[in-house]
Structure 1
Amino acid sequence: MKKRNKILIACTSVVAVMAAGLFGAGMYFYKVAVVPAPKSFLSKPEKIKPGNKLYPAQEWYKHVEKQRWHEISATRHLKLDANYIKAAKPTKKTIVIAHGFMGDKDKMFSYAYLFHNLGYNVLLPDARGHGDSQGKYIGYGWPDRLDYVKWIKQVIAKNGQDSKIVMFGTSMGGATTMMVSGVKDVPKQVKAYIEDCGYTDVYSEIAYQAKQLYHLPNWPLVNIVSMITDVKDGYSFKEASALKQVKKNRRPMLFIHGAHDHFVPTRMVYPLYKADRGPKQLLIVPGRGHARSYQNHPELYTKTVKQFLGRYFK
Structure 2
Amino acid sequence: MKKKTLTWTLPLIGIAATSLFASERLFNFAFKRVNYVPETSADKQKYADAYYAYVDWYQAVSKEKWYLHEHDPKNRMVAEYIPAETPSNKTVIISHGYKGNGETMANFAQMYHRLGFNVLLPDDRGHGESAGKYISFGWLDRLDYLQWIQQVIDRSNADVKILMFGVSMGGATMEMLSGESLPPQVKAIIADCGYSSIEAELTYLLKRQFHLPKYPIEPLVSTISKRRLGYYLGDVTATEQLKKNKRPILFIHGEKDVYVPVGMAYENYAATHAAKRLWIVKNASHAESFWINPTRYQAHVEEFLETYFDAQD
Do they fold alike, i.e. is TM over 0.5? Answer: yes
Contact 1:285/1:297 (CA < 8 Å) preserved in 2? no
Task: State the one-letter code of the partner of 1:43.
Answer: S
Alpha-carbon distance in 1 for matches of 2:76, 2:120: 16
Matches within 5 A, 1:124-203: 124-183=121-180, 185-203=181-199
Q: 2:218 aligns with which of 195, 218, 222?
A: 222
Aligned to 1:89: 86
Deviation string 1:128-160 (CA, Å, 9 cap, x unpaired) is 000101111110000111111111111011113
Alpha-carbon distance in 1 for matches of 2:82, 2:200: 35
Q: 1:240 aligns with which of 236, 250, 271?
A: 236
Consecutive unaligned residues of structure 1, counting only runs of 5 or more, are: none
Shift of residue 240 of structure 1?
Answer: 2.5
Q: 1:251 aligns with which of 247, 250, 266?
A: 247
Aligned to 2:205: 209
What is the DSSP-based 3-state SS (H/G/I as helix, E as strand, rest coil) of the residue aligned with 1:287? coil
Alpha-carbon distance in 2 for matches of 1:63, 1:39: 20
Shift of residue 58 of structure 1?
Answer: 2.8
Contact 1:143/1:235 (CA < 8 Å) preserved in 2? no
Alpha-carbon distance in 2 for matches of 1:40, 1:8: 48
Alpha-carbon distance in 2 for matches of 1:172, 1:119: 25
Task: State the one-letter code of the partner of 1:283.
Answer: W
What is the DSSP-based 3-state SS (H/G/I as helix, E as strand, rest coil) of the residue aligned with 1:70? strand
Q: 1:100 aligns with which of 94, 97, 103?
A: 97
Alpha-carbon distance in 2 for matches of 1:19, 1:42: 35
Q: 2:41 aligns with which of 39, 43, 58?
A: 43
Q: After the TM superposition, which of the residue ranges 210-219 and 283-292 deviates more from structure 2?
A: 283-292
Task: State the one-letter code of the partner of 1:17.
Answer: G
Alpha-carbon distance in 2 for matches of 1:54, 1:138: 24
* RMSD (Å) for aligned C-alpha atoms: 2.2
Q: Quickly say closer, same or farther: Cα 1:311–1:241, change in 2 above 3 A.
A: same
Shift of residue 120 of structure 1?
Answer: 0.4
Task: State the one-letter code of the partner of 1:85.
Answer: I
Matches within 5 A, 1:35-74: 35-37=32-34, 43=41, 46=45, 52-54=49-51, 56-72=53-69
Alpha-carbon distance in 2 for matches of 1:42, 1:206: 19
Alpha-carbon distance in 1 for matches of 2:54, 2:126: 26
Q: 1:295 aligns with which of 280, 291, 294?
A: 291
Shift of residue 289 of structure 1?
Answer: 2.1
Deviation string 1:99-131 (CA, Å, 9 cap, x unpaired) is 000110000000000000000000000010001
Consecutive unaligned residues of structure 2, counting only runs of 5 or more, are: none
Shift of residue 53 of structure 1?
Answer: 4.3
Q: Quickly say closer, same or farther: Cα 1:280–1:90, change in 2 above 3 A.
A: same
Task: State the one-letter code of the partner of 1:281.
Answer: R
1:272 and 2:279 matched? no
What is the DSSP-based 3-state SS (H/G/I as helix, E as strand, rest coil) of the residue aligned with 1:32? helix
Aligned to 2:22: 25
Contact 2:74/2:131 (CA < 8 Å) preserved in 1? no
What is the DSSP-based 3-state SS (H/G/I as helix, E as strand, rest coil) of the residue aligned with 1:244? helix
Task: State the one-letter code of the partner of 2:293.
Answer: H
Deviation string 1:260-294 (CA, Å, 9 cap, x unpaired) is 11111111100111110110011111223210101
Calculate percent identity across the aligned residue pairs: 42
User: Normalization by structure 1: what TM-score?
Assistant: 0.91
Q: Quickly say closer, same or farther: Cα 1:91–1:148, change in 2 above 3 A.
A: same
What is the DSSP-based 3-state SS (H/G/I as helix, E as strand, rest coil) of the residue aligned with 1:249? coil
